[in-house]
């Protein structure tokens, strides 16, 4: 099926077009530069930017794919979780398209779409797969037996109990004077640094914590440890070794993420690990996961960095899977749901 997907949950206006598992177009307009001076996404600014970017981005996607809107078999749209006002722009646009074209609409979960996108690059997702979902607002381990969410097909084994991994990257970057969003800047700075220079804490890995939080994450203690370390340096009048701090912080995050993901896969007897979400773009996370997984005979699938961060192709990819599996489309009055849980993959 030819599916057009719309993504507006945060600051990226994304429109993707896929035919089955083949990516035809992935147009993204970002308002990130308008938010940079605030050090975080400003919801009202994001909503307005989506409004302005929506029609041109749809047009650009159709041009790139060489299709006309009339050719589209179904519309998919992120209906949660995310910023309420931002989501509304995407949902309203998708409804207008579905209604005017007389085509079905699928309201899908943004987090499940971060997982489904890998099908565009590596083919059908093996089920079951273990998904490590690491983004700006979420960090979870998911057992995926059906990516359309049918019959409890997306089952959370654990999640962060405080900050998300991406949030930790952004906060530590800010502390080091690096621009927003910080993830890519930490990644770059870390390449010049020594990852064993500073021994930062690995959250929820003590024997006691593991009893209650074996597959959960915690990054707020790590963030505080980095802040303390940097403050102590500044007080002593010595320069802050930004590259070493970035590399050591990044190592602490990636070490815990990979360790727990592989532990979860092993304990569930799952041989395929998928890593998705913006933080999956991290170069160290990709290398470390591959290195450790291969020793355990676990296969790792990570989409290329451009498909890890928010985009419309991921929504189209999940929509196409809905169509292929004959899932019932969403009602035309489907709502935007800013706190949609990951288990609810398709709006019913």
Cα distance between residue 172 and residue 177, in whole Å: 9
Q: Which is nearer to ligand ATP, 30 or 129 (CB)?
A: 30
Closest to Fe ion by CB, 76 or 176: 76
Does residue 273 have a known ligand-binding role? Answer: no
- CB 133 to Fe ion: min, Å: 9
- Shortest Å, Cβ 242 to Mg ion: 23
In contact, 320 and 143? CB cutoff 8 Å: no
Task: Work out the angle at residue 83's Cα, subtended by the Cα atoms of residues 187 and 76, and round it to the nearest 5 degrees.
Answer: 90
3-state secondary structure 78-111: EEECCCHHHHHHHHHHHHHHHHHHCCCEEEEEHH
16 appears as a binding residue in the annotation: no
Q: How far is the CB of 224 from ligand ATP (least distance, A)?
A: 18
Selected range binding ligand ATP among 46-54, 87-95, 178-186, 192-200, rule: CB under 6 A: 178-186
Nearer to Mg ion, 11 or 26 (CB): 11
* Three-state SS letters, 148-170: CCCCCCEEEEEEECCCCHHHHHH
Q: State yes or no: 137 annotated in a binding site.
A: yes
Q: Taking the complex as a whole, how short is the minimal distance between the CB of residue 132 and Mg ion, in angstroms?
A: 19
Closest approach, Cβ 309 to Fe ion, in A, equals 7
Question: Quick check: 135 binds Fe ion (CB under 5 A)?
Answer: yes
Residue nearest to ligand ATP (CB): 278
Cα-only R_g, the chain = 20
Q: How many residues lie near ligand ATP (CB under 6 A)?
A: 23
Residue 118 sits in the site that holds Mg ion (CB under 5 A): no
Residue 242 assigned as binding residue: no
Task: Tokens for 98, please give them.
Answer: 């579905």
Binder of ligand ATP out of 5, 80, 128, 184 (CB under 6 A):
184
Mask: binding to ligand ATP, 98-137, rule CB under 6 A, as x and -? ------------x------------------------xxx
Is 134 known to sit in a ligand binding site? yes
Minimum CB distance to Fe ion smaller for 11 or for 310: 310
Size of the site for Fe ion (CB under 5 A): 2
Q: Is 163 annotated as a binding residue?
A: no
Judged by CB under 6 A, the residue of 118, 163, 170, 251 near ligand ATP is: 170
Q: Using the rule CB under 6 A, is 90 a contact of ligand ATP? A: no
Provide the residue count of the chain.
Answer: 348
Closest C-alpha among 4, 62, 46 to residue 318: 4
Catalog residues that contact ligand ATP under the rule CB under 6 A.
9-10, 82, 110, 135-138, 166, 169-170, 181-184, 187, 277-279, 281-282, 309-310
Which segments are annotated as binding site for Fe cation? 110, 114, 310
Catalog residues that contact Fe ion under the rule CB under 5 A.
135, 310
């Amino acid at each position: 099926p030819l599916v057009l997907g719309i993504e507006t949950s945060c600051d990226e206006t994304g429109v993707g077009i896929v035919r089955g598992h083949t990516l035809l177009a992935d147009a993204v307009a970002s308002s990130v530069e308008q938010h940079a001076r605030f050090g975080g996404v400003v919801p009202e600014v994001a909503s307005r930017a989506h409004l302005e970017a929506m029609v041109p981005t749809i047009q650009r996607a159709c041009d790139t794919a060489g299709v006309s809107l009339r050719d589209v078999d179904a519309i998919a749209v992120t209906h949660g979780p995310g910023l309420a006002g931002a989501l509304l722009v995407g949902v309203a646009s998708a409804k207008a398209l579905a209604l005017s074209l007389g085509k079905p609409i699928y309201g899908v979960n943004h987090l499940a779409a971060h997982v489904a996108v890998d099908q565009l690059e590596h083919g059908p997702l093996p089920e079951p797969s273990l998904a490590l979902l690491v983004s700006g607002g979420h960090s979870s381990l998911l057992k995926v037996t059906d990516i359309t969410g049918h019959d409890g097909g997306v089952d959370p084994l654990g999640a962060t109990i405080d900050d998300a991994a991406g949030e930790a990257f952004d906060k530590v970057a800010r502390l080091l004077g690096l621009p927003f969003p910080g993830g890519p800047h930490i990644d770059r700075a870390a390449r010049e640094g020594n990852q064993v220079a500073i021994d930062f804490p690995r959250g929820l890995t003590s024997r006691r914590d593991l009893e209650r939080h074996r597959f959960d994450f915690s990054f707020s203690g790590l963030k505080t440890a980095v802040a303390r370390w940097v403050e102590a340096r500044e007080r002593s009048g010595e320069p802050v070794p930004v590259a070493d701090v970035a590399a050591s912080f990044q190592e602490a995050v990636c070490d815990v993420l990979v360790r727990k993901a592989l532990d979860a896969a092993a304990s569930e007897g799952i041989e395929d690990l998928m890593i998705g979400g913006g933080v999956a773009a991290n170069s160290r996370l990709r290398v470390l996961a591959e290195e450790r997984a291969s020793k355990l005979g676990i296969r790792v699938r990570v989409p290329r960095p451009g498909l890890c961060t928010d985009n419309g192709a991921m929504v189209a990819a999940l929509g196409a899977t809905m169509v292929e599996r004959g899932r019932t489309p969403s009602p035309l009055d489907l709502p935007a749901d800013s706190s949609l849980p990951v288990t609810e993959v398709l709006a019913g």
